[in-house]
Amino acid sequence: MKYLLLSISLLIGFSCFADKKKSKSKTNVVKKTEESSSDGTMVTANTEMQTSDNYKNKLENTRIDAPLFAFKCSDIKNTTIDQDKFNDRNLVVMLYNPDCGHCMEVARKILEILPEHKDTRLLLMSGENTTPAIPEFMKTLGISEDSENITIALISKETTEAIFEYNGIPQVMVYGQERLLRKVYYKDIDILDFSKLLE
């Protein structure tokens, strides 16, 4: 329940601009029927499942080997950044809430091994209305505004919808130097597995 509430607050909090236009959702209805067996162990049921263009885009953006998703947002210095800032290096994208203690612990794990991977950048993404909590988050973890390999960004609801899968926060996405997705973690990371992905 805690992760669900945090995930909902993460989505509601995102409110900066994105370069991606809102796509008009197209709803498809899929019906599935299960027929009862003679001994009554099966029950006939019809299930309706709604899918949309946004959902399809999200699946495309989070599949293994998917290219780095397009985005445009502001960092904590109010400088506009986009995906082109992160060329030719491994990239770890972490969707988080700075008020989330668990997110802080996962970020701490990543920061502890980051010095071992000089060619890796960390992009921390949260919603615009989380700005007041970010300085304390940075102070606790010892993150400097001038860090070369760590970027803290404020992202829009549209960007969130394009990549956040609602499987819990933080959501950590690891991209190789070729900017293709290698793995997605939800809620936590396996530090040994994670480190190997950055080699």
Please state the pTM of the whole predicted model.
Answer: 0.72
Question: pLDDT digit string (tens) for 94-147?
Answer: 999 999 999 999 999 999 999 999 899 999 999 888 999 999 999 999 999 888
> Which CB contacts under 8 angstroms, 24+ apart, belong to 2-10?
3/168, 3/169, 3/187, 6/97, 6/100, 6/168, 6/169, 7/164, 7/166, 7/168, 7/169, 9/97, 10/95, 10/96, 10/97, 10/126, 10/127, 10/160, 10/164, 10/169
Domains of the chain with CATH codes: 2-18+66-197 (3.40.30.10)
What is the pLDDT at residue 113?
94
